Every structure is written in C-alpha cells, then in structure tokens.
Amino acid sequence: MTDNKELLAKVSDVTTETEYFSPIPHGYKKGKTKYVIVMGTVMSGLGKGIFSSCLAKLMKDKGIKVAPIKLEGYLNIDSGTLNPFRHGEVFVLDDGMECDMDLGTYERMLNQDLSRSNFSTSGQIYSDVLNKERHGDYLGRDVQMIPHITGEVKLKLRRLAMQSDSDVVFVEIGGTVGDLENAFYIEAMRELAYEEGPGSCCFVALTYILAPKTLGEQKSKAAQLGIRELMEKGIQPDIIACRADNEVSETVRQKISVFSNVPFEDVFSMHDSDSIYKIPEMLKDSAIDTEVIKKLGLEVKQNSSHEAKNWSLWQNLTNKIDKQTHEITIGITGKYTSVRDSYASIINALEHAEIALGCKVNIQWIEVTDINQDNVASQLSEVDGIIVPGGFGVRGTEGKIECIRYARENNMPYLGLCLGFQMAVVEFARNVCGISNANSSEIDANCKAVIDILPEQKKIEGLGGNMRLGGRNIEIKKGTNADKLFGGKESVRLRFRHRYEVDPAYIEQLEKEGLTFSGKAPDQPIMQILEISDHPFFMGTQAHPCLTSRPLRPDRFFLGLVAASRKCKYNDESLPSAIEAVKALFE
Ligand code: GLN
C-alpha cells in the first residue's frame, strides 16, 4: 500500500501552464485501473448503492479487485453531524470516518472493510481546494469550479485507485443527474473518461420506469428525459439499468435503447426483489457483470475457480433465506422509529441472524416516550426480546430504562447498543444498587453520574468528527458469557461512536451486585461489554456491533439475542441456548 502522505506531497506536481489542469498522483498509470461510474436519473432513492455494491460483488467474486467510492453532494465534511431521521443512519468505518449508510451496504456486500478514502463529500472537496489555495498551490491562477474542483475529484479517484491497487474503482454519485449539488461530479466524470481514454470508464445510468396504476402499463418517458439530461452533460451511458416494481417490458427497454444510443442488450431490468441478498443473482442472470467486464476489457483478470467457490458460498446463504423453522418478534425502542433507514444496520444484523439461525425475525418498533412502570408489560406483551439502540439526548430515556428493567426482571432477552448499554447500567444502578438518582450526565447534569463524559472528551469543543470513533479492540474477560459467545477469543474488534462511558468509580459496586463487565478497552478502564450471567440473555455493548455484521459473518451479539428469544418463546428443551446456538454456527 502506498503511503498517503507521500502521495499528498507529490501531488503538487501539476501542470499549470496549459488549460489541462489535472492533478495526477505521482506514479499513477493511466489505464491500469478502470472506472465504473453509477449515476441516478429521474429520482433519488433508486438503490444506487445496492445496485452498485451488488455489481461490484459479482466482479470481486471473479477475482477482480474492486474499490468503491461514494461521492456525496452535501457540504458537510462527513455524515457525523447529520440527523439520522432526515438522512438515514450514520455509518462508522474502522478508521473512524462517519459516513453515509451506503458504505455499510458496500461493506456487507463485498465483505470488505472500507476507509475514509472510500467516501467523499462536496465539503471535503471544496475544503481541500481552499486549503491548497491558502497554501499557495495554485499560485498565479484564479481558482475555479473547472478545472480545480473537478481536478480535485479526479485526484481523489486516482489516489484511491493507487492506494487500493484495484482493477476497478466503483464510483457512485449521490443524488440525481440535474441536481446542482452534484453537477461538478458529473463534469469531473466526463473529464475523467476523456483523460483516461476509450475503454477505461463504463457509465451506468440507473433510471426509474413509472407504472401508474390508473394506466396499468410501464411508461418510459421520465426515464428518457433523465437520460437525455445526462447526455446533455456530455456523457453517453454505456449501460442503462431500469429500476421498476416489476420486470421491465421489452417494448419499454427498446424505446429507451433507441432514444439513448445504448444497444438493446445493454438496457437491463432491475426490478424489485424481496431480499437485497437475491439481487446479485438477478444481476448475474441478466449478465450485466459480464457486459461491464467486456466493455472494460477485464476478461483476463477473471478467475473461474475463485468465482465458483465464492458463488457457492453466496448460494448457501441465499438458499437459506426463505427456510425458517421458527419465528420471533424483537422490539426495538427508539425515537427515530418512523424512518427505517435510521436503524439500517440493526435491521441488517437481525436479518443476518435470521438467515443463519433459520428463525424469522419480525421487528416491532416501540415508541418509548409514553412508556412507564404501569404500561410497560402491556407495551412489551408481543415481543420476545428487546434491543435498545444507540442514541443521543434526553427524549425517551426513562421509557427505555423501564423496558430494560422489565427485560431484566422477567428473563426477557435484552441487547443494549451504546446508549442501550449505558441505560442498562443506569437501570441496574437505580433498581439493584439502590442509587435512586443514577443517570448519565448527558441526560441529567445533577444526577449521580454512573455514566459520565469520557475524560478525553472534556476538552473537546464543537461537534464534528470528534467522538470516540471507529474500530477498537475489546479485551474479553475469561469465564464470562461474552467469552463463550466469542468462542474463547481474547480480543474482538468492534466499532464505536460515543462521548460517555461507565464512570470507573462505580464499577466495583455494580459488579458486586451482579452486573459483569465482560469486555473492556485493553489500555484504559473503559467498559465495553456488560452482562448478567443468570439471565437467558442480558448483554450490552458500548460498541455498535451491527456495523460489522455481514451476511457471511453474522454478528454474535445479534445471533445470541435471536437464539435466546427463540428459546424463550418456544420454551422447548431441545432448542439450543444463545451460547450453544452461536457455538454450533462457528464450529
Ligand atoms: N449518547 C451516548 C454517548 O455519546 C451514546 C452514543 C450512541 O449511542 N452512539 O456516549
């Protein structure tokens, strides 16, 4: 891997003499890496990330090395300050980057860890250019959208190509063609294709086929206009993928083909599927992957035995999707319950556990604002297990604490994630240790703060990108349930995003009363996993294990919760306990 600093230093080798200002990293070989560029037309929310990650997966399975990048239009430097209610969950990468939830889709589909070089926003691009301007890098020139901003975009892609040493960089452009926010990205892609030369870029336009109920047929006009808009910007799509509820008819595909100069066989139907994990198969059947490979001349990179092995692993997974022997309901408490995107990773992690264990998981969203001691039992009467997910701020915390108390006292399986871990500590401190005004100082400044701000966080001002973020190791305590759940591993790595922690001053008292801290940071007294041992499943983690759950590597906390909830619901001796079930899967 090339050193980033070295690349940065050498990148100022740019031509300023001619009109071709295109910063190219030192040592970059044109044509070595190919680019697949995915853009959306007609409307947002087409599932560009899902489509592009599935296509990238098919290519990776063949032995072609891929590196995805999402280019976001907004001016925020990262997604850390975005409200998940408006924009979907904030995904956290191992290196601490707070990014768009689509990066989660890529990590899950590709079964590959990504880093900050796989994510960019307009804010990052502008701020890099402005910093260079102050540094004197463009001396003598007026700094402009073209070529400087577009140059910075190309630079980012080329750096990624070099750092990842990939055969293909998958570029997903956020938003829709025609948006002002992403117009410079589209121009940068046009320039990239021109500079890299024929056969180096494959443009895929994702579009939407309307099918108004009143007409009862698919209409292609909106798609045609969307593609025309792209062509007006100087980009000729190579492939068109048509999103639709149902399979797109041949006539509609023909119309789009004629209108857009794209051969009929390169206009694909990408209709809805009941599971995103079945989309790779749909794409493979349509042969869109081989078409992209052909256009980019990547045939030589394919390895058929590699592909056969990976494909059979994937089919083992998809074959299990509809074969469930049991069914449970997990209640998720949270204030963003109206938007499923705000909890995307949790939903995915539950789905991974569902597939692995053959146990259907229904989700019941629990609005906690009005939950109290009197109504908690009835509010939770239909769920077999509970998750209290991560969150910030005061609203709903008392309701969450009531749910946790109910789960603890009634042997109902419980999994607390980040804030849910902290609230489990507060509940235990209040109702078992008798510290009646125990709370988190995030919620109540005058409480007995069993959860308090991390010492390192006290000095920090402002809110962007400065929590305790990213992948950290967790040291597991021998002999605990966590030890058994993780098969005796001494250390596991999970991702974090928090400012508060268990105040170390209370650890001894909490542990004496029966709460076990079974995972902690190796070098600091930061508690990272908790459990109650004589409970069917009562665990919490300061981390967000949902972020690293993958279809081919389901997370063990989620597996444990689902297995325990199944056992509690069916009350069947022959069903394995949480730990037995997880052990059996990883043997
Ligand atoms: N608000 C809590 C903290 O900052 C929990 C954060 C979270 O759930 N992601 O520590």
| Residue range 22-317 in CATH 3.40.50.300 | yes
Is the per-residue pLDDT at 6 higher than 80?
no
Pairing of strands 119-121, 66-72: parallel
Q: What is the pLDDT of residues 317-364, one digit of tens each?
A: 999 998 899 999 999 997 655 567 889 999 999 999 999 999 999 999
How much is the pLDDT for 455? 86
Contact 545, 417 (CB under 8 A): yes
In 450-489, which residue ranges form alpha helices assigned H by DSSP? 455-458, 481-485
Atom of ligand 1 at shortest range from CA of 389: 8
Atom of ligand 1 at shortest range from CA of 390: 8
How much is the pLDDT for 456? 83
CA distance 456 to 454: 5
Specify which of 392-396, 398-402, 461-465 reaches the highest per-range mean pLDDT. 398-402
Nearest CA to ligand 1 atom 6: 498
Q: CATH 3.40.50.300: which residues of the chain?
A: 22-317
Is the per-residue pLDDT at 5 higher than 50?
no
Neighbours of 457 (CB within 10 A): 15
How much is the pLDDT for 17? 52
Nearest CA to ligand 1 atom 9: 390
How much is the pLDDT for 22? 76
Atom of ligand 1 at shortest range from CA of 418: 8
Find the mean pLDDT for residues 206-220. Answer: 94
If one residue of 343, 496, 498 were mutated to test the ligand 1 pocket, choosing by the most ligand atoms within 8 A of its CB, it would be 498
How much is the pLDDT for 13? 47
Least confident of 192-206, 452-466, 567-581: 452-466
How much is the pLDDT for 20? 61
Is the per-residue pLDDT at 28 higher than 80?
yes
How much is the pLDDT for 336? 55
Please give the structure tokens belonging to residue 320. Answer: 């299990």
CA distance 269 to 243: 6
Nearest CA to ligand 1 atom 5: 419
How much is the pLDDT for 10? 42
Please give the structure tokens belonging to residue 152. Answer: 């910075």
Q: What is the pLDDT of residues 280-329, one digit of tens each?
A: 999 999 999 999 999 999 999 999 999 999 999 999 999 999 889 999 99
How much is the pLDDT for 4? 44
How much is the pLDDT for 12? 46
Counting every residue written for the chain, the total comes to 587
Return the closest-CA partner of residue 13 out of 137, 188, 195: 137
With tokens 């190579």, the residue in question is: 238
Ligand 1 centroid, distance to 391 Cα (angstroms):
6
Top-confidence residue, 334 or 55: 55
Ligand 1 centroid, distance to 419 Cα (angstroms):
5
Query: Counting beta carbons within 10 angstroms of the beta carbon of residue 426, is it exposed (0 to 12), middle (13 to 18) or buried (19 or more)?
Result: buried
Ligand 1 centroid, distance to 456 Cα (angstroms):
15
Single-letter amino acid, residue 523: D
Ligand 1 centroid, distance to 256 Cα (angstroms):
48
Is the per-residue pLDDT at 463 higher than 80?
no
How much is the pLDDT for 87? 79
Nearest CA to ligand 1 atom 1: 392
CA distance 314 to 61: 10
Percent of the chain residues topping a pLDDT of 70: 96
Q: CATH 3.40.50.880: which residues of the chain?
A: 326-586
Confidence band for 138, pLDDT divided at 50, 70 and 90: confident
Atom of ligand 1 at shortest range from CA of 497: 9
Atom of ligand 1 at shortest range from CA of 501: 10
How much is the pLDDT for 462? 73
How much is the pLDDT for 497? 97
In 201-272, which residue ranges form alpha helices assigned H by DSSP? 221-232, 250-260
Find the mean pLDDT for residues 471-476. Answer: 98
Please state, in angstroms and as integers, the Cα–Cα distance from residue 512 to each residue in 410, 416, 508, 516, 532, following that order: 21, 21, 6, 9, 12
Atom of ligand 1 at shortest range from CA of 454: 10
Nearest CA to ligand 1 atom 7: 390
Average pLDDT, the chain: 93
Ligand 1, residues at Cβ distance < 6 Å: 390-392, 418-419, 442, 497-500
- DSSP label of 460: -
Confidence band for 233, pLDDT divided at 50, 70 and 90: very high
- CA dihedral 353→357→362→365, nearest 10 degrees, is -30
Ligand 1 centroid, distance to 228 Cα (angstroms):
46
Confidence band for 429, pLDDT divided at 50, 70 and 90: very high
The correct CATH number of 326-586 out of 3.30.870.10, 3.30.70.270, 3.40.50.880, 3.40.430.10 is: 3.40.50.880
Find the mean pLDDT for residues 570-581. Answer: 95
If one residue of 418, 440, 444 were mutated to test the ligand 1 pocket, choosing by the most ligand atoms within 8 A of its CB, it would be 418
